[in-house]
Structure 1
């Protein structure tokens, strides 16, 4: 259940889904930019931020159902749903399981492909380690690849924000999500038959889901758009917010009325 979220602005609804191991503050630049013309809903996912309490395994369908329940609570019929990294995978799951709630998709720095067996095993091992050691060592390992080296040097405030989010993630919630991601399906079938507009965005210097991965995702969705954000790693919305916002704004401006 989602019990911590921001709901600001008035207009067509946008639902922003954060990545791992972050919280809803990763979308602050987008909340600030879009709330003048849109209703922007930004939740903390189960087990993250102020929504602690997850343990064991949190399957992606559980995250998606949480988000649909939030839309119901807010009396939102359909929304433009966008997510980054794990949030993108949750967005794809929401589209697969509840397509009637989705007006359009924005998929940022994410992959539609299921984990190979070795990758799935590695997620389970990491989940066990996070529960055993705490989130700190894992966060520092991720930090070296999460943002581009350029961002780390030129934007220390962004680097500090990213580090605070990761180190603040509840270990049990992060571990539960890792196990859930290991079991996710391949979203190729549902995306290949998508009947809503889709935008794929990726940071030019993303190491986790590089441009080649974004191009495969783009090629999976007929009629989708692809945007590569220069001078950004895995978090282009924070590293280059003006460029990221412009790309999404142009996409939103081109959507049909309903």
Structure 2
């Protein structure tokens, strides 16, 4: 199993396919498997790198203080290990915040960005911090997972199966580490910097996405950004309607000559 330790934290990642790089940064409270459909699809054209962000999967789970910039450095460490100097970058929820930070700090490394959720401002995550920090993963993880999808998906056979697969890893997670991820995201507002963002950007929200308005606002602040809404889905729209999500991404990449 490949790991990067360039930033002092062990970060696990997987590589699938061959071609130009595509780097995927998952959402809270999932892990690299959040992108299982996209890895299967986009590895047809790209070398897809799916990362377990700190706190999840096989990566370290530090509970001490860290920032979104630290998490962005984790991703850069993986890119350096793989000698990636230009990539399509895709991030969801907190992963979209990490992607925005990377696009602002190191725009030369990214040919395009896809943000799922896509909020750029400082946000109130007191409920999530309390859930993970005080109630703990065992009591709160499943509730959080269900909050992030449309109700009809959570109650479907496929949705219940997928959410159960993510919930079953709960015993390996650290509530303190996850709470710190939310503190780090709440402390950061990148809105004022977005008009200077030079990376071509697509923002995708589900119709019932809890961050729909934040995503709409973020897309409005980024020059020439494209905003799309995926009907019938929630915050985790790429697993709720993978075919619809992938179609939006493919059209965006083809319009910018990044996909044949």
Q: TM-score, normalised by structure 1?
A: 0.88
1:40: Cα distance to partner? 0.4
Task: State the alpha-carbon separation in 1 of the partners of residues 145 and 128 from structure 2.
Answer: 17
1:166: Cα distance to partner? 5.8
Task: State the alpha-carbon separation in 1 of the partners of residues 22 and 10 from structure 2.
Answer: 16
**What residue ranges of structure 1 are gaps of 5+ in the alignment?**
none
User: Kindly tell me: are residues 102 and 205 of structure 1, through their superposed partners in 2, closer, same or farther at Cα, counting changes over 3 Å?
Assistant: same
- Structure 1 residues 96-135: aligned runs within 5 Å: 96-115=104-123, 119=124, 124-129=129-134, 133-135=135-137
Task: State the alpha-carbon separation in 1 of the partners of residues 176 and 115 from structure 2.
Answer: 26
> Which protein, 1 or 2, shows the higher relative CO under an 8 Å CA cutoff with sep ≥ 6?
1
Q: Does structure 2 conserve the Cα–Cα contact (< 8 Å) formed by 1:127 and 1:176?
A: no
Q: Does structure 2 conserve the Cα–Cα contact (< 8 Å) formed by 1:57 and 1:175?
A: no
Runs of 4 or more above 6 Å deviation: none
User: Kindly tell me: are residues 3 and 159 of structure 1, through their superposed partners in 2, closer, same or farther at Cα, counting changes over 3 Å?
Assistant: closer
Task: State the alpha-carbon separation in 2 of the partners of residues 167 and 224 from structure 1.
Answer: 39
Aligned partner (choices 44, 69, 74) of residue 82 of structure 2: 74
Q: TM-score, normalised by structure 2?
A: 0.88
**What residue ranges of structure 2 are gaps of 5+ in the alignment?**
1-8
> Which residue does the alignment assign to 1:183?
187
Task: State the alpha-carbon separation in 2 of the partners of residues 22 and 120 from structure 1.
Answer: 17
Q: Deviations over 1:118-157 (max 9, x none)?
A: x26556544531xxx4202221331342111110222332
Task: State the alpha-carbon separation in 1 of the partners of residues 10 and 35 from structure 2.
Answer: 16
Aligned partner (choices 58, 68, 73) of residue 60 of structure 1: 68
Q: Deviations over 1:16-47 (max 9, x none)?
A: 00011111011111000010111100010112
Task: State the alpha-carbon separation in 2 of the partners of residues 200 and 47 from structure 1.
Answer: 25
Q: Does structure 2 conserve the Cα–Cα contact (< 8 Å) formed by 1:147 and 1:232?
A: yes
User: Kindly tell me: are residues 147 and 100 of structure 1, through their superposed partners in 2, closer, same or farther at Cα, counting changes over 3 Å?
Assistant: same
